[in-house]
Structure 1
Amino acid sequence: MPGFSLWRIAVPAFGPTVLNAVGQGAVLPVVALSALQLGASVGFAAFLVGVLGIGQFAGSLPAGALVVRIGERRALLVAAVVSAVAWCAAMVVRTPWLLGLSLLVAGLAGAVFSLARQSYVTEVVPVELRARALSTLGGVNRIGLFVGPFLGALAGHYWGMPGAYAVGVAGSIGAIVVLVTAGEPQGAHEPLQVERLSLKQVLWAHRRTFLTLGTGVFVIAVARAARTSLIPLWGEHLGLSATDTSIVFGITNGIEMLLFYPAGLIMDRLGRVWIAVPATVLLGIGMLTLPLSTAFTSILAVGVLMAVGNGLGSGIVKTLGADAAPPGHRAQFLAGWTFCAEFGSVIGPVLIGAITLVFPLAAASLTLGALTLTGSTWLAKWVPTFDPRRATKGISGQISTGTPCRAPAPGDNS
Structure 2
Amino acid sequence: MLDCEGVIEAGSRALERRILSWMCVLIAVNQLGFGAVIPVLPLYAKSFDVSQTAIGATVAVYGVARVFLGLPTGKVADVLGRRAALAIGGGVTVLGNLWCAMAATYLELLTARLVAGAGAGIVLTAGLIVLADIASPATRGRTLAIYQGVFLFAVGIGPFPGGFLAERFGLEAPFLVYAIMGAAVTAVAWFGVAETRVEGGTPASRDAVPLRAQVRALLGDVGFRLVCFIGLVGALARTGGLFSIVPILGRERLALSATEIGFGFALGSIVGLLVTYPAGYMADRFGRKAVIVPATVLIGVSMLAFSFAADYAWFLVACLIWGGAITASGAAPAAYAADAAPEGMNAAAMGSYRMLSDVGYVVGPIVLGWMGDAGGLDLPLWAAAGGLFLMAALFGAFASETVRKEGTA
- Whether 1:132 aligns to 2:148 is no
Q: Is contact 1:81–1:172 with CA below 8 Å preserved after alignment? A: yes
Structure 2's unaligned 5+ residue stretches are 1-7
Greater shift, 123-132 or 241-250, is seen at 241-250
The residue that corresponds to 1:141 in the other structure is 151
Deviation at 1:131, TM superposition (A): 1.3
Q: Is the 2:148–2:330 contact (alpha carbons within 8 Å) kept by the matching residues of 1?
A: yes
Deviation at 1:12, TM superposition (A): 2.9
1:164 aligns with: 174
Change (3 A) 1:174 1:231: closer
Q: What are the ranges of 5 or more consecutive residues in structure 1 without an aligned counterpart?
A: 393-414
User: What letter matches 2:360 in structure 1?
Assistant: G
Structure 1 letter corresponding to 2:386: A
Correspondence 1:309 to 2:325 = yes
1:221–1:333: structure 2 CA closer, same or farther, 3 Å change rule? same
1:302 and 1:85, CA in 2 relative to 1: closer, same or farther beyond 3 A?
Answer: closer
Residue 311 to residue 70, structure 1, CA distance change in 2 (3 Å): same
* C-alpha separation in 1, matches of 2:378 and 2:161: 36
Contact kept in structure 2, 1:271 and 1:389, CA below 8 Å:
yes
* Residues 1:387 and 2:395 aligned together: no
Contact preservation (8 Å) 1:13, 1:117: yes
Aligned to 1:408: none
Aligned residues of 1:216 and 1:378 also touching (Cα < 8 A): no
Of residues 225, 246, 253 in structure 2, which corresponds to 1:211?
225
Per-residue deviation, residues 203-234 of structure 1 (Å, max 9, x unmatched): 22222224344334334434444551564566
Aligned amino acid, residue 175 of structure 1: V
The 3 A distance-change label for structure 1 pair 377 and 90 is closer
Are residues 1:328 and 2:344 paired?
A: yes
In structure 2, the CA distance between the partners of 1:96 and 1:372, relative to structure 1 (3 Å rule), is closer
Separation of aligned partners in 1, 2:93 and 2:186: 10
Q: What is the Cα deviation at residue 279 of structure 1?
A: 0.4
The offset of 1:105, in angstroms, is 1.0
CA contact (8 A) 2:59 2:362 kept: no
Q: Compute the RMSD of aligned alpha carbons.
A: 3.6
Check 1:142–1:109 CA distance in 2 against 1; reply closer, same or farther (3 A cut): same
Q: Shift of residue 108 of structure 1? A: 0.9
Moved more, 175-184 or 299-308: 299-308
The 5 Å alignment of 1:225-240 reads 225=239, 227-228=241-242, 231-232=246-247, 235=250, 239-240=253-254
| 2:62 maps to 1:52 | yes
SS, match of residue 128 in structure 1: coil
Task: State the partner residue of 1:86.
Answer: 96
Instruction: Please point out which of 179, 182, 188 is paired with 2:189.
Output: 179
**Cα offsets for 1:277-301 (capped at 9, x unmatched):** 1101222344456665544444543
Residue 341 of structure 1 corresponds to 357
Measure how far apart 1:119 and its partner are.
0.4
Could you say which residue in structure 2 is the equivalent of 1:396?
none
Determine if the alignment matches structure 1 residue 257 to structure 2 residue 269.
Answer: no
Q: Deviations over 1:354-393 (max 9, x none)?
A: 555665655554444333223222222344x25143599x
SS of the counterpart of 1:42?
Answer: coil
Amino acid at match of 1:387: T
Aligned to 1:42: 50
Contact 2:289/2:401 (CA < 8 Å) preserved in 1? no
- CA spacing shift, 1:78–1:376, aligned 2, 3 Å: same
CA distance in 1, matches of 2:270, 2:148: 14
| Deviation (angstroms), 1:91 | 3.8
Q: Give the distance between the partners of 2:114 and 2:261, measured in 1 at CA.
A: 28
Letter in 1 for 2:350: L
Q: Distance in 1 between matches of 2:82 and 2:33?
A: 21
Tell me the secondary structure at the aligned position of residue 325 of structure 1: coil
**What amino acid is aligned across from residue 404 of structure 2 in structure 1?**
R
Higher relative contact order (CA 8 A, sep 6+): 2
Contact map agreement 2:265 2:323 (CA 8 A) in 1: no
**Distance of 1:45 and 1:340 partners within structure 2:** 23
Deviation at 1:336, TM superposition (A): 1.6
Q: Does 1:21 align with 2:36?
A: no
Amino acid in the other structure paired with 1:221: A
- Change beyond 3 A, Cα 1:217–1:389: farther
Per-residue CA deviation, residues 146-183 of structure 1 (Å, 9 max, x unaligned), is 44445556666886555433322321221222222224
Change (3 A) 1:274 1:107: same
Aligned pairs (5 A) from 1:90-109: 90-109=100-119
Comparing 264-273 and 91-100, the one that deviates more: 91-100
Aligned to 1:412: none
CA contact (8 A) 1:323 1:386 kept: no
Aligned to 2:299: 283
**Superimposed CA distance per residue, residues 230-263 of structure 1 (whole angstroms, 9 cap, x where no aligned partner):** 64566568x3112365554343233223222221
Shift of 1:132: 1.6
Higher mean displacement: 128-137 or 245-254: 245-254
Tell whether the 8 Å contact from 2:61 to 2:362 is kept in structure 1 after alignment.
no
Does 2:250 match 1:202?
no
Q: How far is 1:195 from its partner?
A: 4.7
Change (3 A) 1:300 1:63: same
Matched residue SS, 1:381: helix
1:111 matched to which residue of 2?
121
For residues 238 and 56 of structure 2, what CA distance do their matches in structure 1 show?
19
Q: Percent identity?
A: 22
TM-score of the two chains, using structure 1 as the length reference: 0.79
Q: What amino acid maps onto 1:88 in structure 2? A: L
Q: Does structure 1 retain, via aligned residues, the 8 Å contact 2:298–2:321?
A: yes
Which whole-Å CA distance do the structure 1 matches of 2:198 and 2:82 have between them? 15
Q: Is the 8 A contact 2:33 2:178 kept in 1?
A: yes
Change beyond 3 A, Cα 1:284–1:183: closer
- Partners of 2:166 and 2:378 in 1: CA distance: 37
Residue 352 (structure 1) aligns with: 368
